[in-house]
Amino acid sequence: MTRRMYPFYFIAIALAFYVVFTVVPSLMGIYLSFTDWNSYVKTIRFIGLDNYSTIFSSDENYMHGIRNTVVFTVATIVLKTIIGLLLALMVNKGIRLKSFHRVILFMPSVIPMLVVGIIFKSIYDPQYGLINETLRAVGLSSWTQHWLTDIQWAFKSVIAVDVWKGAGYIMVILLAGLQAISHSYYEAADIDGAGVWKKLRYITLPLLMPSLTVTTVLNLLYGLKIFDTVYVLTNGGPGYATDVVYTQVFSQFSLGSYGVGTALITVLFVIMTILGFFAIKLMSREEQG
Amino acid sequence: MKNKKLQAVIANTAIGVVSLIAIIPILLIVINAFKTGAESSSMGFALPKTFHFDNFSTVIEKGKLGHSFLNSFAYSGISALFCILFSSMAAFALSRNRSRLNRLLYFFLILGIALPLNYFTLIDVMKWTELMNTRAGIIVLYMVTQIPFSVFILFGFIGGVPKELDEAGVIDGCGPVRLYFSVIFPVLQPAAVTVFILAFLNTWNEFLLPLYYLNSAQKWPMTLAVYNFFGQFQQSWNLVSADIILTILPVLIVYLLGQRFIIAGMTSGSVKG
């Protein structure tokens, strides 16, 4: 009965689309990353590891992209998790206008990244931007910066935008986790005379681990694919200060050097397949637990 | 007791400040959308002297937003509908028949949540399937990119739908297709709505796929139209702001109406209460 009532073609349609438009291009990419494929050649030649040695050679700028992508991902995970957790703890209880705050705080995460980029381009403007204007108005003129064009600040500014956009999203997921924790744990802790810190350390955080795993995994997969915000805010500049893998991929695309570009994506593909595999294992284990 | 009160004050203040930070950039855009070009050049919080509603009509005309709006609506709506249909059928069969092969296929499918698209080779695939630079092509791509996450969420939900329903259906003489459409799919509605809203929002906000695979402005969705508009009118922040508002208004409306579902969707599959 099982096989007859749940026929394979139910799975096959989604699977076929997925294979044709995601898996096949990925596999082709692995092959083509070993060739000199670009938009000017007629016949594609096999060139072995040349594209990869270009990417990993210290004379080229590609390592900036990979390094920045990793730094961006780690930094945004840490910042968004800490802020999201604090917000979730606050919104969970003891706050007036709880649902109002919840709606407001989540709002940035539904706005397109591209649009967020444009908005912050205005906010970061060195002359008229909201940040520098405010600093001047309160007498802190010396703190004003060229947020997006100063090599010291550009990458931090991009990270800040992503934290602005994503912290509310993390808050919401962690909030659901918090609300699933039974009150009886805290009541028992009260009887034992545990303080706020001890309750957080020994009850809240351990029981919140499944949710924290999920937010970390989501942030990880999202961070490694970052493109829109960087593209609009800085397009990788100044120099290579904010270049990430996908902005480099896009420049390779515009230049027509498909071989190097596809090798870059393949590097990311390998990293993400490995991480994705562990992530799925983790998430499905948490789900059964 | 005093300690508790102080904590409450601090928490309330802190969350107020953070909420303000979250909303300020959005308010900034709203205020400047009504100013004149000169007033908006400093993108400040000063209220406009007179409200220029004509900015919006200017933007709709110059930015060809009418077209783009319909495009976005069609792309997101159609792709989300097909995504739900195919994802839920797959999730249903995968969840009910847990053979070793199906377990493998499930992992293989949801691995797509992590996989980065290869934009270079995908062009070849789009050319073979004759979907390059077509509306159908972008709809297919949007659908495909949403399938893995949708299967993941729906799989979790279907696990909680009692199998007795299937048995009742079989006793009443349903075949698989009728069982699915007249018994299972109606039960899935809450999850299906969530998945639809998520897929709709994600694709409405998407920007890269049309950038790579649609070369004619006629076919552009809102995001690409806004980006192009921003390139042309960088100096006129009043118009850019108006353009942005028209782009995110539908998203915000969908969000405010559907926030219960959206938030449930974000958390389902991740936290089992």
| Consecutive 10-residue averages of pLDDT for chain B (273 residues) | 76 89 93 87 81 88 87 95 96 93 94 89 94 95 95 89 88 89 89 88 91 90 91 88 90 82 65 39
What pLDDT does A287 receive?
A: 53
Rounded to whole angstroms, the Cα distance separating B234 from A275 reads 40
What pLDDT does A280 receive?
A: 77
Which residues are registered as beta bridge partners of A46?
A: A35
What pLDDT does A2 receive?
A: 65
- Test A5 with B87 for CB contact under 8 angstroms: no
> For every one of its 289 residues, what pLDDT tens digit does chain A have, with 9 covering 90 and above?
566 788 999 999 999 999 999 999 999 999 999 998 888 887 888 998 989 988 888 777 888 899 999 999 999 999 999 999 999 988 887 677 778 888 899 899 889 999 999 999 999 999 888 999 899 999 888 898 999 999 999 999 999 999 999 999 899 889 888 888 888 888 888 888 888 888 888 889 999 988 898 889 889 988 999 999 999 999 988 989 999 999 999 999 888 889 999 999 999 989 888 888 888 777 766 554 4
What pLDDT does A232 receive?
A: 92
Select the residue from A9, A19, A21 to test the B interface by mutation, using most B Cβ atoms within 10 A: A21
Compute how many other C-beta atoms are within 10 angstroms of the C-beta atom of residue B99.
12
Compute how many other C-beta atoms are within 10 angstroms of the C-beta atom of residue B272.
16
Residue whose tokens read 């090599």: A151
Distance from CA of B271 to the nearest CA of A (A): 6
Q: Which of A105, A129, A258 sits opposite B18 (nearest CB)?
A: A105
pTM over 0.80? The answer is yes
Distance from CA of B248 to the nearest CA of A (A): 6
Residue whose tokens read 């910066």: A145
Cβ atoms of B35 and B48 closer than 8 Å: yes
What pLDDT does A289 receive?
A: 41
Cβ atoms of B210 and B223 closer than 8 Å: yes
- The b/e string for B115-130 (b: 16+ C-beta within 10 A; e otherwise) is bbbbbbbbbbbbeeee
Helix (H, G, I), strand (E, B) or coil at B214: coil
- Test B111 with A94 for CB contact under 8 angstroms: no
ipTM for the predicted complex comes to: 0.89
Q: Which of A13, A119, A123 sits opposite B244 (nearest CB)?
A: A119
Rounded to whole angstroms, the Cα distance separating B96 from A284 reads 17
Cβ atoms of B109 and B90 closer than 8 Å: yes
What pLDDT does A59 receive?
A: 75
What are the residues whose beta carbons fall under 8 Å from the beta carbon of B197, sequence distance 6 or more?
B254, B258, B261, B262, B265
Question: Could you report the per-residue pLDDT of A79-124, keeping only the tens digit for each?
Answer: 999 999 999 988 887 677 778 888 899 899 889 999 999 999 999 9
- Test B147 with A232 for CB contact under 8 angstroms: no
Compute how many other C-beta atoms are within 10 angstroms of the C-beta atom of residue B136.
11
Q: Which of A2, A96, A114 sits opposite B226 (nearest CB)?
A: A114
Q: Report residue B132: phi and psi, to 5°.
A: -60, 135
A181 CB within 8 Å of a chain B CB: no
- The b/e string for A97-134 (b: 16+ C-beta within 10 A; e otherwise) is eeeebbbbbbbbbbbbbbbbbbbbbbbbbeeebbbbbe
DSSP A160-218: HHHHHHHHHHHHHHHHHHHHTS-HHHHHHHHHTT--HHHHIIIIIHHHHHHHHHHHHHH
CB neighbour class for A31 (10 Å; exposed up to 12, middle 13-18, buried from 19): middle
H helix intervals, chain A: 2-5, 8-18, 24-32, 50-56, 62-92, 98-106, 113-123, 130-137, 154-179, 183-191, 196-199, 205-224, 228-233, 245-255, 258-288
A40 CB within 8 Å of a chain B CB: no
